[in-house]
Amino acid sequence: MKLFKKKSCCQCSVDEIKQAEEIKNELGIKILGSECAKCNKLEESVRQAILEMNIELPIDHITDFAQIASYGIMSTPALVLNGEVVSFGKVLSVAEVKHILEVKL
């Protein structure tokens, strides 16, 4: 009798994984999270920061768990800039977002 069966942590199809990897490499800003209050607050901070800095970058709010998992983060909200995770598990203030953008752009 087999005591341990191999289980997959993600029930994602190959197509879903490919799509997540393609989206992951797109330029711009991504907010990763389930549209909870904290995720929405991070998005507000990001929008305000780019408005104040007069920067034009596309912003996407990713809620699909397969796509979020492709970034390898364990807690949301997360902030991704040009494919790189720059913050996760924290709601950043406008000032913190501006600092990240100044350093990374």
What are the residues facing 32 on neighbouring strands?
A: 62, 78
Report pTM. 0.79
Alpha-carbon gap, residue 45 to 51, rounded angstroms: 10
Spatial distance between the Cα atoms of 18 and 5, rounded to a whole number of angstroms: 26
What is the CATH class of 34-104? Answer: alpha beta
16 CB-side CA count, 13 A: 11
In tens digits, what is the pLDDT along the chain, a chain of 105 residues?
A: 455 454 445 566 777 767 766 776 778 999 999 989 999 999 999 999 999 999 999 999 999 888 898 899 989 999 999 999 999 999 999 999 999 999 998
Locate the domains of the chain by residue range: 34-104
